[in-house]
Structure formats: C-alpha cells, structure tokens
Amino acid sequence: MQTTAYVVHYSPAGPDGAPAAEPPALLEAIAEAGFAVASREAFSGDGFCGARLAVRPAEARAASSAQPQASFAGPSPVGTLSAGTLAAGALSAAATGADGLPGGGSAATYRAPGGLAGLRAAVLGAKDSFDAGTGACVVPSDLFHAPRMLLVLDVDSTLIRQEVVEMLAAHAGCEAEVTEVTEAAMRGELDFAQSLHARVATLAGLEQEVIAAVRDAVELTPGASELVGAFRAAGHAVGVVSGGFIQILAPLAAELRLDFANANELGIEGGRLTGTVVGDVVDRAAKEARLREWALSLGIPVAHTIAVGDGANDLDMVRAAGLGVAFNAQPALRRGADAAIDLPRLDVIRHLVGI
C-alpha cells in the first residue's frame, strides 16, 4: 500500500543536536484519524530539526471477501486539502492501488473516513499540546512527489526581515506612525490598498536616492537564500509577490535568480517620490492571481504550488496553494494556513516537501 500523505513535524534544535522525537499528541492524532505511520525520515538544519512521517490508511479488520473495502469518503474540503477530490479519487484508487489505498488481492479493510481533511484537522487539533516552537503539517503525497513545484513567497517580513515602507518612512520622519498602520493592516484590521495609499502618501517629497539607501539596508531572512537555491537546484520554480515596491524588489530578485517577481511601483517625478502608487495595488487578490498565473504559464497544477507569507494580505494565495505556509505570522493568516512555522529560518520549508 502506497503512502497517502506525509505528516511533517519541526521544532527548534535541542542543545545536544539530537533528532526531534514525535510529540505523543501527534502520533495519537494520526491514529485517531485512521492512519498509520509507514516510515520516518529525520531532517535537521541550522537551529531546527524534525521528521517526515509517511502515513497511509490503517488496517482496521480482516475482511471476509478477497477484495478490500476502502472506506475513504471525505467530508467537505478543509483549507487547501480537498477531501472531496480525495474521495473521488479513492474509488478508483481502491481498484488501481494508487494514492494510498490497496488495489486488490488483500483481505484487509482500511479506515480513514475523514481522508486527508480529517487527518489535517486532527494534526491541527493536536498542536495545542506541542512545545513552544514546535509545529506540524500534512503534505499530500501528490505534492511531495510532484515533478515540478512552484514556490511563491511574500517579501516584507518573509523573504526579508524588514518592512520596506517603514524603512522609507524612517527617512521621512514618520516611521512610528507608518509602523502602526502596517501592523493593523497585517492583522487584517484595515483594507490593505487603502492603508498602503495612506502610508505611501507620507513619503511624498523624499529624494529618489532614499530608495537606493533602503535597498542597501535590506536583509534577507535567515535561510532565504538556501531555500531559493535548493528549490531552483532541484528544478522547481520560485516567485515573489509583494505589497511592497518593485524598485526595492527587482535587484533582489535578480540576485536570487527568481523566476517571477511582482510588486507595487512607487511614483517618482523630478527625482522625488510623489507619495503615490503607480497602477493597481498588489493586494491579497492580486497575490492569489499571480500564483495562479505563474503556475498556469509553467504548466504546474495549483495543487503543486507552495505559498508562504506572514500577514492577512497573503491569506488568499496561502489558501489557494497546494501547501500554504504561515511564517512567523499574524493570527489571521495562521488560521487559514496548512502549516505555521514559528522558527527564525525559512529553509525549514524545503524539508516539508523533501527538498
């Protein structure tokens, strides 16, 4: 019987560097969802460790007939893990042996009545019992084994450590005011487009040279280069989409050799910032649109995409992706994500899909 999914757990590395043990609540959740662990593969990085558990429906009882009866009908989809899609595929899988269900010749029946959605709900429910910094998520087997994936990252406070609009505002003497608005927008308390226009208006009159100074001060999040490099070396595509500014992002995208980059454009006239944004704002709807457009252009199913962000403006693309990751994120995004990572390094994400 083939693997149906991977349950991945990750945590800060211990002082002795020993591999992370499975949280007992996680193993209980897997069993309660009707799955069994088939194999385990540990991983570690700079300051973190974890393991991937290959899981499949657990054997429930011996059957009297020679053909197995696969009880794998899923409920309504939860998040980006579509139980409805899985349930439809389970019927043919029972006959063909694909996607985690036996294909004949066995006298066993298998129980996983909630499918992947039920497994995901069980894993999410167990996380309240984990130690601080420990997380877990469910990665569908078809994503894990996808021949090519698309990774799309938010930029400010995700790919980079800072919020660029706040860095620009510091030069205008209004950083505290802009920071307060940024934080409210990331919590989902303000309309992003309106809040961006208000924040950018405070930059009116700044000399254009400020952009270069801010660009030079930008710092990549630890593990960002390693994450991008690992995906590209494995033949996958990487894009970034930002509610920030293309004047800052373009050189960074070129340095990292990204496949795609999209962000807002600051208005500039006569060598000074106008305090306006040129064209439509890159908001949460636009981020999801870029994810879908880039995947389509590459012939990659949306189910084989990974989206990573930190705020409410990333919610739509995180929900749409095959695997949505909330990275040190606001509660509004964490609630809609498949995985919540509370570790300082981005490259833990590569281990979620075995890269």
Shortest CA distance to 45 belongs to which of 306, 220, 230, 219?
Answer: 230
- DSSP-derived secondary structure for 248-278: HHHHHHHHHT-SEEEEEEEEEETTEEEEEEE
Q: Does the annotation count 156 as an active-site position?
A: yes
Alpha carbon separation from 162 to 220, 254, 291, 343, 354 (Å, rounded): 9, 19, 23, 16, 28
The residue annotated as part of the active site, out of 99, 142, 156, 316, is 156
Shortest CA distance to 33 belongs to which of 64, 63, 71, 61?
Answer: 71
d(CA 195, CA 164): 14
d(CA 125, CA 112): 17
d(CA 293, CA 289): 6
**E strand map for the chain:** 5-12, 35-45, 48-62, 70-71, 108-111, 135-140, 150-153, 237-245, 260-269, 272-278, 305-309, 323-327, 339-341
The residue annotated as part of the active site, out of 99, 128, 131, 154, is 154
Tell me the catalytic residues. 154, 156
